């Protein structure tokens, strides 16, 4: 008769592959195997690094193969509509004539307390003026249509409405005059300039506008709207830049100033696409100083005219972000 202890013994020849019954021995065995695996991988990396040092083509081939597969690279394009259709619907946005200098009327939602934030927007958008929505609670409450008609008669090119939620900026509505379209954005992450570490003070120079990563027809329509809010010819001597970056349908607003200085001995020189040092930039480095304010926008609705009653060109709906690789802008 075979005893119970004999039946639990590991089979002969199992060796190190057998799992020890003692907990401490199992931990030591796991650490031993992990160290052996790490040392073998380290030896392979150093050996491959020596081969790449001898033959640079091996490194180039490895970098071509090892391209990380990000969400942006797996992007599914949403090509609803076309640029030609948008140009026919909104000819004032896609005008090929000499663009006019903007004249912007900035206001707020009804009974708003964001007067300071609205004043900061007048510093961001050139040639803009802030007008309070109502003087007091008994005054006439003008609608967006009435304000747009008032602004059109006074040669304004756009109306910007700052919306409020719990005494914080929550949205931005932009009306392209005289007949639209009207864009509705939600706003998050509002930070005024004085709260940014190392911030600078903006001057009265007209900034340069940089629009990045607007590729779909809806994205190009949005980019043309922002293009009409800034002068076509910036003041280069001011070195101020407003950047609107589209990253996964979130629009990041930033305002910076270029700061040129001499290159330190420990810094690398500015090189071009060919890897050679750029002529005219020897001994010069360019830094950036943020001026503020900074905030993030997300497009929610595009009205064909002014407000919802005019019909919708596009509207964000629930579960549109269910497919994480599909973007609208």
Q: What is the pLDDT of residues 120-159, one digit of tens each?
A: 999 999 999 999 987 777 778 889 999 999 999 999 999 9
Name the band, by pLDDT with cuts 50, 70 and 90, for residue 290. Answer: very high
202 belongs to a structural domain: yes
DSSP-H helix ranges across the chain:
4-7, 23-54, 56-65, 83-89, 115-124, 144-153, 217-227
Q: What is the mean pLDDT of the chain?
A: 87
Q: Note the pLDDT of residue 17.
A: 62
Percent pLDDT > 70 in the chain is 92
Q: Is the pLDDT of residue 80 over 70?
A: no
What's the maximum distance between 2 C-alpha atoms anywhere in the chain? 108
Q: Is the pLDDT of residue 217 over 80?
A: yes
Q: Is the pLDDT of residue 321 over 80?
A: no
Dihedral sign, Cα of residue 34, residue 38, residue 44, residue 47: negative
Q: Note the pLDDT of residue 215.
A: 87
185 belongs to a structural domain: yes
Tell me which DSSP letter residue 248 carries: T
Q: Note the pLDDT of residue 295.
A: 97
d(CA 329, CA 302): 13
36 contacts: CB under 8 Å, gap ≥ 6: none
Decide if 211 contacts 226 (C-beta within 8 A): yes
CATH, residue 229: 3.40.50.10480
- CA distances, 42 to each of 46, 55, 59, 190, 329 (Å): 6, 20, 17, 46, 44
Range of the domain at 96: 83-315
18 belongs to a structural domain: no
Reference 147, options 158, 135, 139; nearest CA is: 158
193 belongs to a structural domain: yes
Decide if 101 contacts 127 (C-beta within 8 A): yes
Q: Is the pLDDT of residue 9 over 70?
A: no
| Residue 231 CA to its chain's centroid (Å) | 22
Q: Note the pLDDT of residue 121.
A: 95
Q: Note the pLDDT of residue 285.
A: 84
Q: Is the pLDDT of residue 3 over 70?
A: no
7 belongs to a structural domain: no
Tell me which DSSP letter residue 22 carries: S
Cis peptide before 293 (omega within 30 of 0): yes
68 belongs to a structural domain: no
Rg (CA), the chain: 30
* Secondary structure (3-state) at 17: helix
* Secondary structure (3-state) at 310: helix
Q: Note the pLDDT of residue 227.
A: 93
303 belongs to a structural domain: yes
**Within 10 A of 266 (CB to CB), how many other CB atoms are there?**
5
Percent pLDDT > 90 in the chain is 52
DSSP 147-194: HHHHHHHTT--EEEEEEEETTEEEEEEEEETTT--EEEEEEEEEE-GG
320 belongs to a structural domain: no
Tell me the mean pLDDT in the region 106-126.
93
Dihedral sign, Cα of residue 182, residue 184, residue 189, residue 192: positive
Q: Is the pLDDT of residue 12 over 70?
A: no
Containing 77, the helix (H) or strand (E) segment is: strand 76-77
Decide if 254 contacts 243 (C-beta within 8 A): yes
Count of domains in the chain?
1
Model-wide pTM > 0.85: no
Containing 309, the helix (H) or strand (E) segment is: none
pLDDT in tens, 218-265: 899 999 999 999 998 999 999 999 999 999 899 999 999 998 888 888
Name the band, by pLDDT with cuts 50, 70 and 90, for residue 324. Answer: confident
Q: Note the pLDDT of residue 81.
A: 54
Reference 255, options 230, 229, 290, 231; nearest CA is: 290
Name the band, by pLDDT with cuts 50, 70 and 90, for residue 45. Answer: very high
Q: Note the pLDDT of residue 2.
A: 52
């Amino acid at each position: 008769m075979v005893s119970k202890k004999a039946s639990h013994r590991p089979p002969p020849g199992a060796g190190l592959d057998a799992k020890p019954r003692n907990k401490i021995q199992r931990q030591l065995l796991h650490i031993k195997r992990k160290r052996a695996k790490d040392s073998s991988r380290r030896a392979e990396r150093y050996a491959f690094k020596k081969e790449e040092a001898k033959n640079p083509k091996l490194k180039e081939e490895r970098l071509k193969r090892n391209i990380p597969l990000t969400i942006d690279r797996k992007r599914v394009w949403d090509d609803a509509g076309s640029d030609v259709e948008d140009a026919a619907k909104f000819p004032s946005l896609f005008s090929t004539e000499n663009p006019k200098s903007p004249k912007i009327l900035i206001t707020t939602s009804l009974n708003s307390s964001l007067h300071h934030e609205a004043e900061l927007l007048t510093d961001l958008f050139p040639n803009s003026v802030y007008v309070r929505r109502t003087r007091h609670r008994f005054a006439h409450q003008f609608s967006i249509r009435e304000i747009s008609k008032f602004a059109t008669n006074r040669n304004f090119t756009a109306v910007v409405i700052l919306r409020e939620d719990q005494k914080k900026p929550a949205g931005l509505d932009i009306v392209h005059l005289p007949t639209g379209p009207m864009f509705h954005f939600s706003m998050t992450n509002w930070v005024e300039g004085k709260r940014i570490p190392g911030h600078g003070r903006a001057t009265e120079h007209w900034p340069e506008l940089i629009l990045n990563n607007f590729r779909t027809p809806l994205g190009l329509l949005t980019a043309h709207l922002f293009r009409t809010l800034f002068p076509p010819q910036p003041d280069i001597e001011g070195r101020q830049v407003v950047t609107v970056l589209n990253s996964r349908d979130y629009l990041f607003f930033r305002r910076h100033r270029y700061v040129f200085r001499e290159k330190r001995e420990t810094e690398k020189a500015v090189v071009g696409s060919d890897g050679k040092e750029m002529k005219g930039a020897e001994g010069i480095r360019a830094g950036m100083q943020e001026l503020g304010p900074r905030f993030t926008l997300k497009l929610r609705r595009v009205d064909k005219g002014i407000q919802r009653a005019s019909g919708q060109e596009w509207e964000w709906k629930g579960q549109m972000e269910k497919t994480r690789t599909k973007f609208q802008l």
